[in-house]
Structure 1
C-alpha cells in the first residue's frame, strides 16, 4: 500500500522525468521539492513505489523513471488539469480571429494549432453524421492479374477500383473471394471493417495470399473514403525529435499514424470514456504500445468528431489534457456558428 507521501513522490518523479528526461533520484527530489524529510526517507518511499511497479530503474545504480502503471496512477489520481497559459490562450485567440474558412480548412488549421500548443502529433477526425455500414463486396476478374473491386454500403453509396491482384486469378476465384470479404465485413462501420480486413488478409489461403492482400488494401482505402472517416494530422516531426523515448525506432508508430485505421478505431473507443480520455503505453496495442494518446470529442451540426494528441509516454499529461479539452470546446463553438 503506497502512502500519501509516496504518491506525492511519484508525482515528483513523473514531473521531473517529463521535464528533464533523466532518471530521478532521491537526492534530486529532496533538492527540487519541499518534502521536509531526508533523502533516505525518500529512498524508502521509492522502494515501495518500485514494489508496486509504479517506477523502475532503467539502469543499475541509476535513478527511477515512471512505468506505464505509474503514469496511469499519476493521470487518474495525481494530475491536476492545469489552466492554459497566456501564450496558449493567445494562440487560440489568433486562430479564432482567422476569418471565414470552409470546414476542411478549419479542421486542418485546428490540427496545426493543437500540435503547436502541445509539441505532439495532433489528430482531428472529420465528423461523420451517420456511419454507413458495409452491405457487400463484389470482385470481378477483368484481365490477367487485374480485378474490379466494388464496395457497396447500406447508404446506397458504391465505390469501385481496379486492383492489381499481383497474381493470376480466375473469375470463379474472384467471385468466391468477394463473397469471403462480404462475410468478413458485412454490417460493420468503415473503420471497423478496414481493421478486420487487415487481419483477414494475413490468414488468407497461400494460393491467394497476394491477391487477398492487394484487394484488402484497396478495400481499406475505399472504406475510409466512403465512410467519411479520415484524420487531419500535424506535427509528426515532434515524434521524430523524441525518438530516443522509444526503445527501438519510431518508424512503426509513424506507419500506424499514416494508415489511420487503428487511430480511428481507438478514437471511437475512447469517445465513451469521458470529456478527456487517455490511453497509456500497454493500454494501446501493436506499434502504439510505447505511446500515449489524449483525446476528447467535439460537435458539429449534430455530428461528433474526435480530437487528440499522440506522443511518447513521457509527456506533459496535465498540459496536454487541458489543451485538448480547450481546443475541442473552441472547435465546437466555431462549428456551431457556421
Structure 2
C-alpha cells in the first residue's frame, strides 16, 4: 500500500523524468522538492513504489523512471490539467482564426497542436452520414471534364474533378444537372447516395443525357462516400524521429499506424473521456493495437449533427498535464468555431 507521501514522490519522479530525461534518484528529489524528510526516507518510499511496479530502474542506473502503470496512476490521480498561458491561448486562436472551410480548419488544428506540444497531432473528421445535401453544383470544364461540388447543411464542402465520355451541349448539361440536383437535394448523405445509384440504373441506354447522368452519378456516389468515411488529418510525424530516444524499441509501428490510419481510428474510437473531458491510453494499454511504445491523449469536439475526436500521440514520457489541457482547449475552441459557423448560416 503506497502512502500519500509515496504518491507525491511518484508525482515528483514523473515530473522530473519528463523535464530532464534522466532517471530520478532520492537525492535529486530532496534537492528539487520540499518534502522535509531525508534522502533515506525518500529511498524507502521509492522502494515501495517499485514494489507496486509504479517505477523501475533502467539498466544499472541508481535512479528510477516511471512505468506505464506509474504514468497511469499519475494521470488518473496526481496530474491536474495545467492551465494554458495567455500566450498558448493566443496561439490557438491565431492558428484557428479565419479558416476557409472545414478541411482548412482541421489542417490548422493539427498544426496548432503539434506546434504547441511537439507531439504527433491528429484530428478525426466527423461523420456526415446524417448530414443533408443542401446544394449540388456541376461545372462543365469542356472536353468531358467537369467539377462536382457537394455542399451539406453542416457546412461541409467537397469537390472532385471527373471525366465523362458522353459530351453534352449547354442545354443538355443543364437538364442533367437539374435531374441530379432533384434526386439528392434535401436528402441525407446516406439517402442521397442510394438515390443517385437508383437514378443511374433507371436511365435509358443510348440517350445522351441518360448516359451522362449515369457517368456523373458514378463520380457523385464516390464523392458522397467521402462524407461517410472515417479519416484523420495529421501533423508532426517528424517529431517521432527527433524523439526516437524516448521510445524503448522501434518507432516503426507508430509510423505504420500513421500511414494506415485504421489502427488509430479504432483506438480513438474506444477511448472514453473522463470527467475532465479528456481520455488517455498509455503504453501497454495500446498493446492490442501494436502501439505499446506510445501514449495517446484525446478530447471530443462537437460539430452540428456529429462529433469526433482530436488528439496527440507520442512517447509515454510526455508532459501529460500540459498535453491534456492543450487537447481539451483546442477541442473546445474547435467546437465553438463550428457552432458559431452554424449559427451564422
Asked if Structure 1 and Structure 2 have the same fold, meaning a TM-score greater than 0.5 normalized by the shorter chain, the answer is: yes
- Give the count of matched residue pairs: 255
Q: Tell me by how many angstroms 1:90 deviates.
A: 1.6
SS at match of 2:291: helix
Stretches of structure 2 that go unaligned for 5 or more consecutive residues are 132-188, 195-222
**In the superposition, relative to structure 1, how do residues 5 and 99 fare at CA in structure 2: closer, same or farther (>3 Å)?**
same
1:125 and 2:124 matched: yes
Between the aligned partners of 1:291 and 1:333, the Cα distance in structure 2 is: 30
Stretches of structure 1 that go unaligned for 5 or more consecutive residues are 133-152, 159-221
SS at match of 1:284: helix
Could you say which structure has the larger radius of gyration?
A: 2
Cα displacement string for residues 99-133 of structure 1 (whole angstroms, at most 9, x for unaligned residues): 2411100011101001111110000001113389x
Once the two structures are superposed, the pairs formed by residues 1-338 of structure 1 within 5 Å of their partners are: 1-96=1-96, 98-130=97-129, 157=193, 225=226, 227-271=228-272, 273=274, 275-285=277-287, 286-338=289-341
What RMSD over aligned residues (CA atoms) do the two structures have, in Å? Answer: 2.3
Q: Tell me by how many angstroms 1:23 deviates.
A: 0.3
SS at match of 1:101: coil
| Contact 1:157-1:226 at 8 Å conserved across structures | no
Between the aligned partners of 1:95 and 1:234, the Cα distance in structure 2 is: 14
| Contact 2:273-2:299 at 8 Å conserved across structures | no
**In the superposition, relative to structure 1, how do residues 291 and 100 fare at CA in structure 2: closer, same or farther (>3 Å)?**
closer
**Counterpart residue number, 1:167:** none
**Counterpart residue number, 1:208:** none
Question: Normalization by structure 2: what TM-score?
Answer: 0.70
Q: Tell me by how many angstroms 1:226 deviates.
A: 6.8
Cα displacement string for residues 271-292 of structure 1 (whole angstroms, at most 9, x for unaligned residues): 4555100000111124311110
Between the aligned partners of 1:280 and 1:24, the Cα distance in structure 2 is: 20
Between the aligned partners of 1:232 and 1:32, the Cα distance in structure 2 is: 40
| Contact 1:83-1:322 at 8 Å conserved across structures | yes
**In the superposition, relative to structure 1, how do residues 257 and 46 fare at CA in structure 2: closer, same or farther (>3 Å)?**
same
Q: Tell me by how many angstroms 1:79 deviates.
A: 0.5
| Contact 1:271-1:306 at 8 Å conserved across structures | no
